[in-house]
Structure 1
């Protein structure tokens, strides 16, 4: 493998699409480069074309409009981590981005790159799953919006046309009675590839101290982060107390085991079935204090 390629650096979404239309299938889109550069250096990939989005400034923003938070695909993990809007309206995502690699990686790496890389260890995607986020793809055929369930194909990779890029991620702002949190258990603190992670978005009915709604996402137990829906249903309508939280986490553990049983990593079941309950309890304890 030669690692000899044509390099493009468009300055707008329109120009990017035109470049991608002309390129063949052996093309890589470069966002932050924290994954792609490593693969190039290790000769894991040998593309004929690389399209760098670094100069496409219109893809870098964080804003809220009509109760919807919108994030451009080229927004870095550091920008999200430090954003007052994200910390106020979607703390789970700020916490997840805080777990991404080292400071240097967070400064370079983008949320769009994390999503499109389709890694089972994508912290931001686990948080976005709990936020029930949607994604705007744009290409020569125009824009299309996809849900988290529609984002990945059977292989686990993001479904995209050759000339498409991720433009935007959006989700509903969390209201005043909703709290959220994220936790991951890794091999070597923040520099680890995720072992297991959990994201929780919990809406409380303050009059009854019951769970009005909840979304629980798990990373590191299947090809892509996924929702523990049986665990969610267990807690909805119940009083938020230690007994019911433990019952919910039992369902989370069962979901973890079921997923790992279908994977090549059955040997990890004894560890992850308990690890997910431990980090889940940490998140519940922290967000319930709010």
Structure 2
């Protein structure tokens, strides 16, 4: 019996797989950190982005915009800034933060980026935030603070807990800034070509950072345990390249809003994976905070108008 799958079913499956793979990022990072004292955020980022770079270069070439000769130097410069901001700097801050806080908390803090985009837009365009959006933001931040305080109570006193939380929040700010830059660039380059170019720029920026910041860079990376290499390549292929492609395919079939709704399961998936692989546990108040955070983000994500015009 032949089973025919609809476009919606295929798109939903791609979105779910993408959310699952993106959610596993913190698990890969935490496991890699535990393997060797040589592993830090810069080293692991270099392994991740170095293994992903060939795929994004191919994507940029394959989806090349035939009218790129009409794109201004300013647009190219903005693309470089966006790529470095969204997928190099934001990712590096995130990797640093995960050295100090749990995978569960990292995902909840990082999930605040839609609220930051709305807040920044209200300032830039000098528009008031709608009441419904204000309630959503309060829910998101209230839930996040609840999780933060609960985890801080159980964290060792000298493990740089607040430094880690601040680094991840800074990562969310950087990613929100990237999102503010993308609409104009997507209109110029096309979504797929822009994604390939921006991520290629981020990969190159990451590798330059590694070679400048790491003494004896070649020796350091070649003497890493093979298991660390596997985690780094896994981060590049299965947590970066594959879910990016799946998300693109999902958006093509479902649209951005529907794909985002499925992606909202991300924090829950990360928490479940952290319980299974990292032995992390959330109490009832932390689960409540997580649900408040997700509810607020969903309200913002599916609000047709977050700002008053």
Q: Which has the higher strand share?
A: 1
Q: Which has the higher helix share?
A: 2
Q: Which has the higher contact order (CA 8 A, sep 6+)?
A: 2
TM, length-normalised to structure 1: 0.27
